[in-house]
Amino acid sequence: MGATVLRESRQNQHRHVVSGHVAHGLRHLRFHCTRCGNCCRQFRVPLTDVDLARLVLATGRPPSELVDWLSPTEVDMTGEPESFVVLPEGRRLMTLAWRDEACRFLAANECSVHADRPMSCRGYPFSVTLGRRGGVRRLRLLDIRDCEHTWAAQQNVRNVARQAATQEAELVRFTQRVVAFNRSQRLRRRVGKRLLDDGAFYETLELPTVGPGADAVAVALPGLSVASDFPSSEASGFRPANE
């Protein structure tokens, strides 16, 4: 089996929808991160276009330096086949690049892009099922076997719901873009044209452009905010992924 990713596939999440009006699993909100950094060494982080846009703006690095493209055999994401992009080398999942057996942004056990980290990092270790009105219907914990957490005061459930809703909206948007790109790739294949590469895929995502050196030029992405506007995002240094 390939590497595990830092969030649950959408298909699996939907399997856990429960009936009734009582929120399940709210006791998990007492989860407290001790900043051990293990999750940043254990899981691969799937990226959406908005995740990538935030990181391009924050780091000034081009997408090609921020992404590892993983094949279906390298990553366990069978529950979300629609997230794989059709490239000349086969179907690939866009994930955050690793260096030295860990996320490339883990530095001295701290997240160096905390305010701009991907949504999957913000959400870990929660798997949230939202109700029709946007409240938390069910809360489960993902794989926390190597997570050196403790239990402390309960986190605000509204923040968790807001984070989950944003993550879902960004994922839906990204999936639509992948589906459209893959459709055009299959058409190209059918008429005997060469398949487009990852560079062409980045172009379809309309990412911010990166200036010379390490400067990123902020551009408005149509229909979305790339602002790091979540609670605690102004903090520097490593913070719990789910804060």
Site for ligand SF4 in 79-138 (CB under 6 A): 96, 103, 105-106, 111, 113, 117, 121, 124-125
Q: Where do we find the tokens 């940043």?
A: 40
- 53 lines the binding site for ligand SF4 (CB under 6 A): no
- 38 lines the binding site for ligand SF4 (CB under 6 A): yes
Site for ligand SF4 in 137-166 (CB under 6 A): 147-149
- DSSP string across 52-79: HHHHHHHH---HHHHEEEE-TTTEE-TT
Pick 96 or 216: Cβ nearer ligand SF4: 96
Taking the complex as a whole, how short is the minimal distance between the CB of residue 164 and ligand SF4, in angstroms?
16
- Cβ–Cβ contacts within 10 Å for residue 98, how many? 18
- 7 lines the binding site for ligand SF4 (CB under 6 A): no
Give the one residue of 13, 25, 28, 33 binding ligand SF4; rule: CB under 6 A.
33
Q: What is the CA radius of gyration of the chain?
A: 18
Pick 83 or 185: Cβ nearer ligand SF4: 83
Pick 90 or 237: Cβ nearer ligand SF4: 237
Taking the complex as a whole, how short is the minimal distance between the CB of residue 182 and ligand SF4, in angstroms?
26
Residue 232: C-alpha distances to residues 15, 178, 236 (Å)? 31, 31, 9
Q: Residue length, the chain?
A: 243
Beta-sheet pairing, 90-96 with 67-70: antiparallel
* Site stretch for ligand SF4 (CB under 6 A), options 38-46, 132-140, 160-168, 197-205: 38-46
The site that binds ligand SF4 (CB under 6 A) totals a number of residues, namely: 24
11, 79 in Cβ contact below 8 A? yes
Residue 231, SS3 per DSSP: coil
* Site stretch for ligand SF4 (CB under 6 A), options 34-42, 69-77, 82-90, 172-180: 34-42
What is the rounded distance in angstroms from the CA atom of residue 80 to the CA atom of residue 76?
9
- 35 lines the binding site for ligand SF4 (CB under 6 A): yes
Closest by Cα among 139, 108, 106, 102 to 124: 139
Query: How do the residues of the chain divide into helix, strand and coil, expressed in percent and rounded to 5?
Result: 35, 20, 45
Contact residues: ligand SF4, CB under 6 A: 33-40, 45, 96, 103, 105-106, 111, 113, 117, 121, 124-125, 147-149, 240-241
